[in-house]
Structure 1
Amino acid sequence: MQVAILSKSGGGYSTRRLLEEAEILGLYAEQIDHSLCSVRLSSDGSELFLREESISGEFQAVIPRIGSGVTRHGAAIVKQFEIEGAFSVARSLGIIRARNKVRTMQLFAKEGLPIPETLFSINPESLSAQIELLGGPPVIIKMQEGTHGTGVILAESLASAKSMCDTLYRLGTPILLQRYIEEAKGEDIRVIVVDQQVVASMKRKGALGEFRANIHRGGLGEAVQLTKKEKAIALQATKLLGLGVAGVDLIRSKNGPLLIEVNASPGLQGIESATGVNVAKAIMEYALRGSGRKRR
């Protein structure tokens, strides 16, 4: 079986680990820069290219690692692999859904999943009223698309919230507001789900003076035991978005766990280091199983 790992760089930890595990399993895996891929469409059908070379039909499985800067193009390339019969561990529609925070929050709210109180609007004139709907400052301001904690701001006063939101509105950046969960104390939980199974989980604590717990922001991770409810939330959220592989972020509040977001291309370095779990192997084995199911 041949596996395409869609990643802009082959030097990152996650991509390297996936390539290593493919070799151990006796699979051929290749890192492909999806930003260099194109699709030719005509009345006769379609064809997928990497630069000038046709790669249509060459791969039986795809592991997408799509960055936020090329979400739509990357998802379109994943869709083309799907059209050609390849199995993707994260389907194109799931990638699009997970990247848009408002869309995911709407889906989670519709299904009754526990989420922080969230509000989105494009009307800067009613910002004070919007913040009051969330119980007043402090509030979290989030860009609707972002990863690794980028585009997440803590506004501790109404004045700072107005200033930050006004700047983002003027830049045409879609945002949402969320109630700040003080008792979380800068900690969250990252859960890795593969093929509707929780394979690893860690608690992340933000660096000194940092409210974001992301490892990429200097946070520290350690293995954590999930409650039954936390496992159920992670599995339901992943299934709802249609993702075979996902990183689900939760926080623990005084009223129980809250679902923050779902990442369709979770990093592997922090979770493997913190837990000792071979997540890359679990993903590669899932790609193998999924490809086998499609062929049957």
Structure 2
Amino acid sequence: MDIAILSVSLHVHSTRRLVEEAQKAGHYVELIDHTKCSVKLGEGNPKIFFGSEDVTHEFDAIIPRIGTKVTKHGAAIVKQFEINGVFSTARSAAISRARNKVATLQILAKNGLPIPETLFSINPNNIEDQLRLLGGPPVIIKLQEGTQGLGVILAETKKSARSIIDTFYKMDTSILIQKFIEEANGEDIRIIVIGKKVVASMKRTSDMDEFRSNIHRGGLGEAVKLTPREKFIALQATQLLGLGVAGVDLIRSASGPLILEVNASPGLKGVEAATGVNVAKRIIQYMERHVGRKS
């Protein structure tokens, strides 16, 4: 196959791992920086340019690794590859859905999958009522498009919660507020789903002074055995969002597993190190099975 990885740099560990495994499997692979891509419409068939190079028909498959700040542009580039019949491990609509935390949680809740009690609003005049609906502080305040633990704040008192929420509302910043699950004890689980299979899972534990368990925030990862229920909801969440490859994050609460979010471009470094599973190779094998067929 001729494969394009849509990523800004080979210095990104996950991108480098995918390149390595694609080359080991005998495929041609090229890094395409989606921020330097353009789409030309009108006057004949649409064309995709990487800089001045026409790459419209150069690839059989793409692996999108789209950054948070360029989600809309990245998804548009992926969409044009899809229209041109190129297989993608993550379709454009699924990337956009997964990147929006509220949209993801709405879809999951509609289909009966368990999530933490969550509230989103833009009304700065009833913050007290909003906190009351979640049982009061402590609460978790999240930017709707944060990633790697960035834009996630623990407000432990009513005063701090009110101050933080009011500030975000006045900055016209989209947030959501979630009930703090104390019994999770600073731990969450990252589950990697490829196709219709769970291929790896790790428990991430925060350090002593940090409630966020993300590896990028200094959390520690170790392999973990999933319950049948956890496997089921991870697979269901991935399917509902329409993703071929996903990282599903959940926590274990007193009432059972709760889904926090679904990532369309999960990092590989932490999970491969913690589990010993060659996730990059599994992604390439997934592409090999599907190229030439609609995803």
TM value normalised by structure 2: 0.98
> Cα–Cα, structure 1 residues 294 and 136, in superposed 2: closer, same or farther, change >3 Å?
closer
- Aligned equivalents of 2:218 and 2:134: distance in 1? 29
Q: What stretches of structure 2 of length at least 5 have no aligned partner? A: none
Q: Could you say which residue in structure 2 is the equivalent of 1:282?
A: 282
Letter in 2 for 1:258: L
Q: Could you say which residue in structure 1 is the equivalent of 2:197?
A: 197
- Aligned equivalents of 1:87 and 1:211: distance in 2? 38
Q: Say if 2:136 is the partner of 1:121.
A: no
Mapping of residues 127-206 of structure 1, within 5 Å: 127-206=127-206
Q: Secondary structure at the match of 1:204?
A: strand
Q: Secondary structure at the match of 1:274?
A: helix
Residue 10 of structure 1: CA displacement?
1.0
Q: Could you say which residue in structure 2 is the equivalent of 1:11?
A: 11
Residue 142 of structure 1: CA displacement?
0.6
- Aligned equivalents of 2:22 and 2:121: distance in 1? 45
Residue 293 of structure 1: CA displacement?
2.6
Letter in 2 for 1:76: A
Q: Say if 2:82 is the partner of 1:59.
A: no
- Aligned equivalents of 1:96 and 1:43: distance in 2? 28
- Aligned equivalents of 1:294 and 1:67: distance in 2? 25
Deviations 1:100-126 (A, max 9, x none): 011011111100100000000000111
Deviations 1:54-108 (A, max 9, x none): 1001111010000100000000000011011100000000000000011011111
Letter in 1 for 2:124: P
Letter in 2 for 1:8: V
Residue 43 of structure 1: CA displacement?
4.7
Q: Say if 2:55 is the partner of 1:68.
A: no
Q: Say if 2:246 is the partner of 1:246.
A: yes
- Aligned equivalents of 2:93 and 2:56: distance in 1? 20
Asked if 2 retains the 8 angstrom alpha-carbon contact of 1:61 and 1:288, the reply is: no
Q: What stretches of structure 1 of length at least 5 have no aligned partner? A: none
Letter in 1 for 2:163: S
Letter in 2 for 1:134: L
Q: Secondary structure at the match of 1:177?
A: strand
Q: Could you say which residue in structure 2 is the equivalent of 1:235?
A: 235
Q: Could you say which residue in structure 1 is the equivalent of 2:112?
A: 112
- Aligned equivalents of 2:281 and 2:121: distance in 1? 42
TM value normalised by structure 1: 0.98
Q: Secondary structure at the match of 2:130?
A: helix
Asked if 2 retains the 8 angstrom alpha-carbon contact of 1:200 and 1:275, the reply is: yes
Residue 215 of structure 1: CA displacement?
0.2
Letter in 1 for 2:47: E
Mapping of residues 89-108 of structure 1, within 5 Å: 89-108=89-108
- Aligned equivalents of 1:140 and 1:51: distance in 2? 42
Q: State how many pairs are aligned.
A: 295
- Aligned equivalents of 2:268 and 2:39: distance in 1? 30
**In percent, how many aligned pairs have the same letter?**
65
- Aligned equivalents of 1:290 and 1:40: distance in 2? 28
- Aligned equivalents of 1:159 and 1:294: distance in 2? 52
> Cα–Cα, structure 1 residues 119 and 16, in superposed 2: closer, same or farther, change >3 Å?
same
Asked if 2 retains the 8 angstrom alpha-carbon contact of 1:63 and 1:287, the reply is: no
